[in-house]
Structures are given as C-alpha cells and as structure tokens.
A and B are shown apart, each in its own frame.
Chain A
Amino acid sequence: MKDNKLTILTNGFIKENPVLVLVLGTCPTLAVSTQAINGLGMGLSTTVVLIFSNIFISSLKRVIPDKVRIPCYIVVIATFVTIVQLLLKAYFPDLDRALGIYIPLIVVNCIILGRAEMFANKNSVVDSALDGVGMGIGFTLALTAMACVRELIGSGSLFGISLTAHLIDPMAIFVLAPGGFFTFGVMIALVNKITRGKVRDKQKQGCAGCAQAAACGQAEEGGCQS
C-alpha cells in the first residue's frame, strides 16, 4: 500500500512527466521558459493550483453531477488561480509582471483539467493530493530545466547571474519564440532517445494521451477522426 502511494507521487516526475511525456500544458511551457526563475515561479504556481484543485475535486466527486462536471471543475480551478494571482501580486510583484497573462491562463492549462478528469475524479482525496504534488513537481522540473537551457544559451546567465561575463555573445534567438519551439522539440527528442521510443508510443495512445480529451465530446464516441 505504501508502495502504491509512492508510485502515485513519483509517477509525475519522470515516467508520466506532464510536459515531456504527456505533452500537456505546452503554452505556458514555451512562453515562460525564457528565464530559469520564471520557469520555477510558473511551475510552483501551477503546482499549488493543481494540488488544491485535485483535493477539492476529489472530495466533491460525489456531489458534482456528471453532466456538468467540466464547468464545475473550471470554477474550482479558476478560484484557486485567482487566489494565486492575488498572492503573487501582493508578495512577488516582479514575478507577476514577468509571467503576466500566463497566470490567469493557468485556468485553461490542460494539465490541471486533465488531471481533474483523469485522476481526481476517480481516486481518493489523499491519492489525488499526491498526484497533484507529483505532477506539479514534474511540471516544475521540466519547465525549469528547459528555462535553464534557454537562459544559458540565450542570455548567457542562470537564474539571473551572468556566467559568461559578456565574453561570449549569447544567441538571443533562444529566448525568443523560435528558440522555445526548438528547445522543446530537442528535449522531447532526447527523452525519446533515452527511453528508446517507449514514450512516443504513449503519445500515440489516442484520446488518453490527448491534451484536449477532457473537454472533447469525441472521447466517449470512439475518438477523434484526425
């Protein structure tokens, strides 16, 4: 039993990493990973929302009628996002400015709705909380790792501390939009290489690996056509 709980917790770290394996939440991943500190801040904000929404949705799973569950989940998630948003504004105004619009957009982050629909909805409160912690840490790790790569190559620094001492010109393209797509692509290829394609098969599972499955009516009707 203890093993089981541990598996739930560590699943999100690497084996089912939400960003690199399940390819969920790509928008914030690409957008805020320009600086390591932003990646870390975004990761932790999302983790907080994920843990609390998982706990709430799991404890309300008997109360929420099945037909209107998605709107109910969205209200729960939006409430926690607003709380996080106000806390960041009050205590970390710099981070709030750097993340900008991506803070309110945590609401529509596929990871949170996806975990609500695929996990919290079916499991006990403790398991859901652990799942939230695990997935959140996995998201934070992936985001921070990607942000480190982009910041190091793109501006020659790490967590805002200059490492190259301006001796080498950084490749600014890496902190811009194309660099984001490129770094993400290479990181996923690296994961594929290390796991010898096991991960890619998971991505091909159809609706289970689809970021939009939670909101998509097609899932119950035998998958989408594309």
Chain B
Amino acid sequence: MREATMIIMAAVLGNNFVLVKFLGICPFLGVSKKLDSAMGMSIAVVFVMVMSTAATWPIQNLLLEPNGIGYMQTIVFILVIAALVQLVEIAMKKFVPALHRGLGVYLPLITTNCAVLGVCVLNIDEGYGFAQSLLNSFGAGVGFLIAMFLFAGVRGRIESNDYPESFKGIASTLIAASILSLSFMGFAGMIDGIFGM
C-alpha cells in the first residue's frame, strides 16, 4: 500500500510528466486553451495510458524478452498503441456513443502523444512489475490531467493581459508554463520527505 501510494504520488507530483519530464508538451500547449477540451483530452490520455501499459508490459516481458528480440520494443509498442487506440475508438463508438461524443475527438491525437509511448517505455526501463506499471501509468495520466487543468486556468488569465508584442502567442504561453513548472519543482523533495527515502 505504502509503495503503491508512493508510486502514484511520485508520478503525479514529483515526476509530473508534462512539467518535469517534458512528455506530451504538444497537447499541453495545443489543447489547453479551453477548460472543457483540456479535460476531455486529459481523461482520454489517462484511459489510453493505463490501457496501453496493460497491453505493452506483457508483450515486452512475455513475448519479446524470452525470444531475445527486446530491441523490437519501439516498433512493436507504437503499433500496439496505434491499434489499441483505433480499437478503443471503434468499440466506444458502438457501445458507449455518449462517451465517444465526449472523448472521440481526442483519441486519434493520442497515438502520437509522446507521453503514452513514454510511459510504456519508462515502465520497462524502471523494471516495474505489472501492478506497479499500471499504478505508474495511472499516476502519470493523473499528473497530465492536473497540469492541463491548472494550465487551462492560467491561460484564460494570460489572454486578457497586456504584455510586449513579441511575447504574444506561444512565447507567453511557454513563460507561463515555466512558472507553473517552477511550482511543481517544490514537490520534488516532498515525496522523499514523506516516505523517508
């Protein structure tokens, strides 16, 4: 239990995927203009992250490693993720059309989201077990959600302010992300402090 909490806390705050590890920056900058689309995207990311970890971890450890073709990881993972996202979209359209209307738009984008492939590869690199991997992916997804949620709020504020002409557009967004990232650095020591590492 202690370990589970630690993995999740670390993934959500200390090692926040967007603000500390720089994974999934494209959607972070692209889709964070409106709060509702930011939330839709994030929920879809959490979902796909956990699903693709559940699919790629067994493939790496039960199929690729025993056969000595661990180096096929990159190709196999990205194909599995792409196929999985397609399947999820088709299944969702058929069985839960209400959910599909909400999240469907974001699903194709997620295939090329580096955070999803990133979390799958990181789980293998860190040597996590199956349950730990799932927890880590869930935490990473929630971390993404929190970052998106906070940033969507911040961006709403930036738009209405007056700042130098050159900083209009993406430049001011990046500076705001920098300040948000600064605040997340404060969590770095917290995890170690709580769990006495």
A interface residues with partner B (beta carbon < 8 Å): 23, 26-27, 30-31, 70-71, 74-75, 78-79, 81-82, 85-86, 100-101, 104-105, 107-110, 113, 173, 176-182, 184-186, 188-190, 192-193, 197, 200, 203-204, 210-212, 214-218, 224-226
Contact = CB atoms under 8 A, between A and B. Distances in A.
Q: Chain B: interface secondary structure?
A: helix
Contact of B114 (A108, A178, A184): A108
Given A30-B22, A71-B79, A74-B82, A212 B170 contact: no
Contact of B30 (A75, A173, A210): A210
Contacts of B90: none
Contacts of A27: 22-26, 114
Interface residues of B, number: 55
Q: Chain A: interface secondary structure?
A: helix
A203 B170 contact: yes
Given A184-B174, A211-B30, A215-B112, A101 B118 contact: yes
Contacts of B166: 189-190, 192-193, 197
Given A197-B165, A200-B169, A226-B37, A181 B74 contact: no
A218 B184 CA distance: 33
Contacts, number: 153
Contact of B179 (A31, A178, A190): A178
21 contacts: A26-B25, A27-B24, A27-B26, A74-B79, A78-B78, A101-B122, A101-B125, A105-B118, A181-B175, A181-B177, A182-B175, A185-B177, A186-B171, A188-B174, A189-B167, A203-B170, A204-B169, A214-B112, A215-B108, A216-B108, A226-B34
A157 to B, nearest CB: 22
B78 A113 contact: no
A110 B26 contact: yes
A23 B170 contact: yes
Contact of B121 (A104, A173, A225): A104
Contact of B27 (A75, A178, A182, A212): A212
